[in-house]
A = this chain, B = another copy of it.
């Protein structure tokens, strides 16, 4: 095939990404064999690796999509909003998230790159909380850094729970508890 219009190409790329997400979520990075990627994308090795230099690049592209999404939600609605969104997400998204965490451990290059994204999200959350303190909605007896760390802990824990497939009936109540914990007027 010849030079295709840019949007067609982008669509093709997106298709492959979506299918790869499913595969990575189901089997993990190592477990998602190229053969499996072929099956899931419906395209050949040649096609896949025409669009991405290798499996790693495919994975990183997915991780970046996720990070960007999360960053936007956090920036718009804060970390708790991001938590409330988690259960409604494509379970594949969570699985890939899990894979990211796993790879952070063993791949220092990836870790360095990833840290920038985490930092961006953290900063964004801090700004929101500081603004909340100024507006009198967020408790002021603790530094925002501590509150953000707390929220990130809960966020990641929730992501793991959902990724592991645990259906949590208490979820709403727990998120309410978390929210109260950071509010100024959190009642008991």
Q: Residues of A at under 8 Å CB distance from B?
A: 25-28, 30-31, 91-92, 95, 98-99, 101-102, 104-106, 111, 139, 141-143, 145-147, 149-150, 152-161, 163-166, 168, 170-171, 173-174, 177-178, 181, 186, 188
In contact, B95 and A163 (Cβ under 8 angstroms): no
In contact, A145 and B170 (Cβ under 8 angstroms): yes
A17 to B86, CA, bound (A): 36
* Nearest chain B CB to A168 CB, angstrom units: 6
A13 to B154, CA, bound (A): 37
Question: A165 contacts which chain B residues (CB < 8 A)?
Answer: 104-105, 111
Question: A163 contacts which chain B residues (CB < 8 A)?
Answer: 101-102, 104-105
* Nearest chain B CB to A39 CB, angstrom units: 16
In contact, A188 and B139 (Cβ under 8 angstroms): yes
In contact, A31 and B106 (Cβ under 8 angstroms): yes
Question: A188 contacts which chain B residues (CB < 8 A)?
Answer: 139, 141, 186
Question: A181 contacts which chain B residues (CB < 8 A)?
Answer: 177, 181
A141 to B154, CA, bound (A): 21
In contact, A174 and B149 (Cβ under 8 angstroms): yes
Question: A142 contacts which chain B residues (CB < 8 A)?
Answer: 173, 177
Question: A104 contacts which chain B residues (CB < 8 A)?
Answer: 95, 163-166
Instruction: Pick from B105, B150, B173: contact of A28, CB below 8 A.
Output: B105
Residue of B nearest to A31 (CB): B106
- 8 residue pairs of the A-B complex, CB under 8 angstroms, read A28-B105, A101-B160, A105-B165, A111-B165, A146-B173, A149-B171, A152-B161, A156-B157
